[in-house]
Amino acid sequence: MTQNQECPLCRSATENVLWRGERARVISVDDSAYPGYTRVIWHDHIAEMTDLPTAHRDELMHIVWQVERALRTCLGPDKVNLAQFGNMVPHLHWHIIPRWRADSHFPEAIWAPRPSRSDTQIAAWSSQKAALLTRLPGYHKALAAALEQSAP
Amino acid sequence: MTQNQECPLCRSATENVLWRGERARVISVDDSAYPGYTRVIWHDHIAEMTDLPTAHRDELMHIVWQVERALRTCLGPDKVNLAQFGNMVPHLHWHIIPRWRADSHFPEAIWAPRPSRSDTQIAAWSSQKAALLTRLPGYHKALAAALEQSAP
């Protein structure tokens, strides 16, 4: 396995792993602002999608689609955001972020400055978020089962 | 074809189209801050990747990888950023953004607030950007040829 001692994604000590496959793992991103935020991390220290052979690239995207599908089924977001940046950590990882119209950044990207919100809007999102948090264990269970079933 | 009269990506009047296929098109995003910024837009008005049948999803990603490959070959970025959000316009489109260590947002996402830069850094990026802009026609030509050759 290609690893880099300096890379935090090669070490992966404190991750909340939902599923671990032969070549990739899926973790829950414990960001209280974004219930359901999930990351797919390739095990090898590889920077770009086009550095992967086709079969591995397809395998990685297949996992991303499984995450998107489970998120939609279990949490019913208004939109799903997908991103692969790696500017800070050039080790392939995909962000899969369920978004809701009421969330703290919508319709901006979650990396953008927060749009202003009224107290009523903040309270409404807080209450919606609390309800979503109760559904996370069900999502995590359904996702792990789907990945286990479809693993190569 | 599934279209929505209210959707700017269904209308597509002012795009700089580099390649148009049966189900998707590739456009140059004329953002002077990001030379080489490219977008892949699915023709049909569809919101999420998992709304597409598998063959179409694979076809769309195949185009994204072609863009990434041509960008890397022709412009040699330090990193490639990929994103599919659709929060404002829920019509499938991928952002493929070549990034350089010297660019105005690195290592942040381009949607994040700009990190502070010294005058020397701003001048260096300005000069690097000018050199990159001269290579865009070559990139656009190589990309169109690659897509034409591999079109289904």
The pLDDT, as a whole number, for residue A152 is: 64
* Residue A10 pLDDT exceeds 80: yes
Interface predicted TM-score (ipTM) of this complex, two decimals: 0.96
Say whether pLDDT at B87 is over 70.
yes
Per-residue pLDDT band for A5 (boundaries 50, 70, 90) equals confident
pLDDT tens by residue, B62-75 = 999 999 999 999 99
Inform me whether the C-beta atom of residue A102 falls under 8 Å from chain B C-beta atoms. Answer: no
pLDDT at B30: 85
Q: Assess whether pLDDT exceeds 70 at residue B20.
A: yes
Q: What's the confidence (pLDDT) of residue A52?
A: 98
Beta partners for A83? A95, B83
Q: Which of chain A's residues have a Cβ under 8 Å away from the Cβ of B112?
A: 111-113
Give dist(CA A44, CA B137) in Å, integer.
35
CA atoms within a 13 Å half-sphere pointing along the CA-CB vector of A90: 15
Closest to B50 (Cβ–Cβ): which among A72, A83, A90? A72
- pLDDT reported for residue B31: 81
Query: Taking 80 as the threshold, does the pLDDT of residue A23 lie above it?
Result: yes
DSSP designation for B118: -
Reported as a pLDDT band with limits 50, 70 and 90, residue B152 is low
Q: Average pLDDT of chain A?
A: 95
CB contact under 8 A, A112 and B107: no
A75 touches chain B (CB under 8 A): no
* Closest Cα in chain A, distance from residue B72 (Å): 9
**pTM for the complete prediction?**
0.96
CB contact under 8 A, A83 and B109: yes
Q: Of the CATH numbers 3.30.1640.10, 3.30.428.10, 3.20.20.80, 1.20.1250.20, which one belongs to the domain with range A8-150?
A: 3.30.428.10
Mean pLDDT of A105-118: 96
Flag whether pLDDT at B12 surpasses 80: no
Whether B113 and A113 have beta carbons less than 8 Å apart is answered as yes
What percentage of chain B reaches a pLDDT higher than 70? 99
Tell me which DSSP letter residue A37 carries: -
Helix A54-75 × helix B54-75 angle, to 10°: 130
What does the block give as tokens for A105? Answer: 């950044």
Cis preceding-peptide flag for B98 (omega within 30 of 0): no
Around Cβ A105, how many Cβ atoms within 10 Å?
A: 20
**Interface test with chain A among B81, B94, B97, B111, by most A beta carbons within 10 Å:** B111
Distance CA B129, CA B100 (A): 10
Average pLDDT, chain B: 95
Write down the pLDDT at residue B11: 83
Integer Cα distance of B135 and A131 in angstroms: 51
Flag whether pLDDT at A69 surpasses 70.
Answer: yes
* Closest chain A residue to B73, measured at CA: A50
pLDDT of residue B70: 98
> What pLDDT, on the 0 to 100 scale, is given for residue A85?
98
Band of the pLDDT at B148, cuts 50, 70, 90?
A: very high
Q: Which residue has the higher pLDDT, A51 or A151?
A: A51
Write down the domain spans for chain B: 8-150
Mutate to test the interface with B, among A59, A74, A79 (most CBs of B within 10 A): A79
Is pLDDT of B33 > 90?
Answer: no
Kindly indicate the confidence band of residue A14, based on its pLDDT and cuts at 50, 70 and 90.
confident
User: Which candidate, B98, B94, B104, B93, places its Cα nearest to that of B74?
Assistant: B98
Residue/partner pairs of A48-54 with CB below 8 Å, 24 or more apart: A48/A86, A48/A92, A48/B68, A48/B72, A48/B79, A48/B80, A49/A84, A49/A92, A49/B65, A49/B68, A49/B80, A49/B82, A50/B65, A50/B68, A50/B69, A50/B72, A50/B80, A52/A92
